Amino acid sequence: MLRSAKRGRRTKYQLPVPPLPQQSFVTSGYDLDLPDDEQRRGADMKAVGHGGVDLAQKRGTPVRLVPLEHQVGDADVLFVGKLFGNSVVTHHAVREGSGVRDYLVIHGHLEKPATGLARGATLLAGGVVGFVGDSGSPGVVHLHLEVRRAREGVSLSALGAGELVQNAKTVACDPRNVLPLNP
Ligand SMILES: [Zn+2]
């Protein structure tokens, strides 16, 4: 019984937080079923809709770095501050075809970022990014996980917080394209 229960909680993809038992894990995704004016967007967001997935977890659960598939080198911290509540944005260089593209991963609505985490810090697999919370999303404790790819020629390090999620600079991606599968 225990074994099968455990197996049932395993996720297909490696995710920054473990699955929560007895609850639908991914509580929301893209609002593709809604007309434009009903799609969620932050007050300062230029992007249409909800660009990520919301992963329910308990407050204070560590959020851990997941290196992306075909990542080149280590991930580094691009932003720590207010974006979707308290957020940590990591940068990942990913080999695609003959080139390398820049991706960012947004970890949003954190209770707080990991202590001492600052822009430029390197994060290895499993390194703590922050802790699950409901900042900017009062009463709904979850991790907002969003993967975005920088548009060609855009230098991520030059972008301000708001620009990180501007469609002119970066585009939301299906995380399944870049998250590694669980072994
Ligand atoms: Zn969300």
What is the residue-level pLDDT of the chain in tens, covering all 183 positions?
Answer: 344 344 455 678 899 998 777 655 555 566 666 776 777 665 555 555 678 888 889 999 999 999 999 999 999 999 999 999 999 999 999 999 889 999 999 999 999 999 999 999 999 999 999 999 999 989 889 999 999 999 999 999 899 988 998 889 999 888 888 999 988
Stated as kind and residue range, the H or E segment containing 5 is helix 2-9
Q: What distance in angstroms lies between residue 50's CA and the mean position of ligand 1's atoms?
A: 6
Q: What distance in angstroms lies between residue 20's CA and the mean position of ligand 1's atoms?
A: 17
CATH superfamily of 2-177: Glucose Permease (Domain IIA) (2.70.70.10)
Q: What distance in angstroms lies between residue 53's CA and the mean position of ligand 1's atoms?
A: 6
Q: What distance in angstroms lies between residue 93's CA and the mean position of ligand 1's atoms?
A: 23
Structure tokens at 158: 């030059």
Q: What distance in angstroms lies between residue 29's CA and the mean position of ligand 1's atoms?
A: 7
Listed by start position, the domains of the chain span: 2-177
C-alpha dihedral sign at 89, 175, 150, 155: positive
96 CB neighbour count, 10 Å cutoff: 13
In eight-state DSSP terms, residue 110 is: E
Token pair 């003959």 in the structure block, residue: 98
Q: What distance in angstroms lies between residue 144's CA and the mean position of ligand 1's atoms?
A: 4
Structure tokens at 78: 């691009």
Q: What distance in angstroms lies between residue 2's CA and the mean position of ligand 1's atoms?
A: 31
Structure tokens at 20: 């929560």
**Which pTM value belongs to this model?**
0.86
Q: What distance in angstroms lies between residue 43's CA and the mean position of ligand 1's atoms?
A: 14
